[in-house]
Structures are given as C-alpha cells and as structure tokens.
Chain A
C-alpha cells in the first residue's frame, strides 16, 4: 500500500527575536499508510502541531521534505485531498455556520450541485444540523470544535489531519468524535491526528508515534510500543506481606509483585519456601499511558546527561 503522508529528515528551526532559535523538529521520518489511523502523541511543546502545520503548508520546513499522496506539501495541489482541523482556530465569527461551511465547500472545489447536500451531511455528522443559521460567535467552544470537524469533512477528503480533535469536547462528544473517526476509517479514509487522550489513541489507532522535543522516540503499532516491557507480574496468596526492596500490592485476596523478568525465578522460589500459594505469572502489560511516561521519561534523562 502506498503512503498518504511521508516525511523525510524533516527539520524545523523557528527563528525567534528575543530568544535563541528553537529546534522544534529534528530528522522526522513519518510514513502513514493509506487507510490507517495514525495517532500522534507527545508532551506539550513536542512539535506535533509544528509537524501538522508543515503538512498543511502553514509552516515552511527548514530542511527535509514532506509529501501528501506524493505531492510536496505547501502547494495547493497537495491540499486537494485534505481535510484539516486546526488546533485553536477561531472561525469568522460574523458568519453563520451554514454560510461559512458553504464558503469552505466552494474553496474545496465541491461541485455546485452537491454543495447543499454536502453541507447538510457534514452538519449532521457533528450534530449541528439545527445550528445552520447560528452565527459562529454564538456557538459554544465545543460546538465550534465540532464545526471545525464539519469543515474538515466538507469535501469528503481521503485524508484527514486533525490537531487535537477531542479538545474542548464533553465526554459524549468525545465518544462521538471517536466513532466518527472509526466510521471514516471504515470508508477507507486515512486519519492522522494528534491527541493527549491516550486511552482513545490506544483504542482506535493502527499506528502510534511518540514525539518528544522534536524527535520521534517510537513509532509503530500498539503491540510494538507496549511489548518491549521487560517486567513480569507475580500473583500469589498467603506468604509474606512484605518483601525486601519490592512493592507488594494487595488486589483483593491476591498479592501482586512486579519485577524484572530475569529475577522472577528467584522470587518464585522464595515465595514457595515462605509457604505462599502461586496464583499466576504473566508479562506485565503496560497501558499506552505507562509506556508514554516511561519512554518520554527515559529520553528526558538521556538528554539531560
């Protein structure tokens, strides 16, 4: 399968007036396959929005190249197959929802005969169909965010780039967005989005990239990101309530200890000698959240050293 998004050695140095220049991205290689959902995560200031803006053509890369469906980013042609939700956009506040959506449909090149139905369709997807006459300034923050999603969908683009699509949404609307994304994937649409909602990313993404201080620390599917955990979990009943140098968690009637894989034999021997009843032993599966903390933390230490 070909790539919807591709970047090679992407680098961005922001020139600043009062402070030294800031390296926001360094040697970023991205490959997003057509039809995939790609989740882009990383701490605040990692460079997610910078990457996305380079893809859209709002920010010029300092070096390297970025392609959308093989077209160099930054050209009108590269944006022909694109829907974009900006991070913190304010829309023309004196326009009505339906009017502004129509403007977007025209700019996106939607055929005149289809414009009305497309607008209607996009509004229905985000549940704003009864707000078509409302001025944008009179929408709530979450509604504005939903308008943003609607304008991104207006031309039924094969690629959606969403910068924190669930920010500012209530839990129900967040679920909505998640379902919208999954439904669009069902239609073969490629979705690239950044998010701080790690549980959502974990649930819906085919590929996940972890960005930190402008570098891609890890990139792969969920299994690849989580499996390199070198820890096991030993679950037992009875026996010692405390172990020297280890934390014993009480989970109901069970006691649980986490420890490096190579030390598990010794611990099991010790527990058996102490009269404990072994209930289970398994590779400790991390959540994406844990993996995220560990990966970004270790990288931080590496850089500080």
Chain B
C-alpha cells in the first residue's frame, strides 16, 4: 500500500532527472495501455510515474530535411493515422501501430510504449525493424542512438540504461520504388495478440529487389531482424525460389516457445507463410510507389 507520485514534466531534462533520481522505483507513462493494466494486475508497483505526454519532442511528428520522419515516442496511433503523409510513405509501419488494440486503445497507445514494453509480440516493432528505424534515447549521460531492433533485450526487458528514456523514432528517407507492409497472425480478427508478426520493406528497380529488410515478431524472446531472409530476396525478381528461400530463412530464424498462444511447429511454419504474404503486399506497394 505504497503511495504513488505522479509527475508530468514539460521538458525532457526534467523527466530524465526525476526518472533517474527515483532509481528503479519509477516508471515512464506514455499511453499507459500497458502500464496501467500491469499496475492493476499487481505486476508492477511503481513509486513514481513520469508522464511524458507534456514533452513536445515526444508527441510530435516531423519530416526530416532528408525526407525521413521523426516520430515522438509518445505519439498515439490515432495521431499518426491522422498525419497527412506518414501513412502514404510508411503504410506498413502505420498498419503495425494501428493494429494495436481497439479505437479506444489507439487514442493512447504509442510506438514508444509498444517497444519499451518489450513484448516479443508488439505489433509495431517488426515493421519498424523492416523500415530501418533508429531510436534516439536520452539519459543522465546524454543522448545516444541505436537501431530499433537493439532496444528489446528479452520479454519485458530493454537495453535502455537506468534513467534512460526513449525519445523518438527516426525513419530514413526512402529510395524510389520502396514499399512496406506488416501482417500478423491472430486466431481472431481483432482484440488479440500476434502469434506471429511479420514486417517487410522492399525496394524494387525494374522488378528486381535492390533492398529488403524483414522483421519478425512473437517467434523469439525479442523481435528479430532476419538478415538471411532479406539476402534471399535481394537480387531476385521475387521468383518462387527466392520466396521459398526467404520463407525458409524466416522459419529458421524462429526460436519460439510452445505456449497458450501457439506451438513451436505452428509459429515456425506461419513465419514463412506470413513472409510470403507480406512481401507480396510490400512489393505491390513498391511497384506503385
């Protein structure tokens, strides 16, 4: 029955200061759609909550001068969907974020929360990995950057150092002929958690794949960047042999568990199925881009 303190600082420096000073007893609050649920279930009992939604840098979406995007870590899925250009450039990333929960949840849930909650099944993460997103982190020792796939350390754990806050995601400028997509397998049609999630980003030049990145979710302790799957696609015209090799690479990358949500055999097989379907959508978008 400890009291909980709540702070909503207006600057990142204040937030980092308070967060670091609380030394582990504090939690960052973005949308709260994971945190509040976990608190009610008694899984976490923070002494301090630092709400980051009053910090401008964390709630804005901007296009970078080079033609990429910078998304504040606490931007909600609904806000991102309303952005006039983001969904046109990164439909796959937006799909991943917008798949989180329901309309009500979308009004709150953020990509930063999804990544820092560090569920292997977080829906926005595989598409972010495929997009080549880089995150900016700020802590007591200043700012640093890392690729999005380096953030999760295992179920519920991140590689953020004590006192560090995830500030934003930077998506690189896209070459012409690029398309991305995200697909997840859930037994239901909504309100479910990914049994397998797959993100793909493909660049085509005259029908030949020149760049590819593949992200997989829910098949290992952390979401994965699957280099061999991308390698199997690059240089191909997405012929059956290339797709089969990429699907096999995805299945081979899986290190899943048998649990209430799916069996090892099922997840391994489905990773390859989703790869094919996801690449088809991404390539279609690339062809039209």
Q: Are these two chains actual partners, yes or no?
A: no
Interface, chain A (partner B; CB < 8 A):
none
Interface, chain B (partner A; CB < 8 A):
none
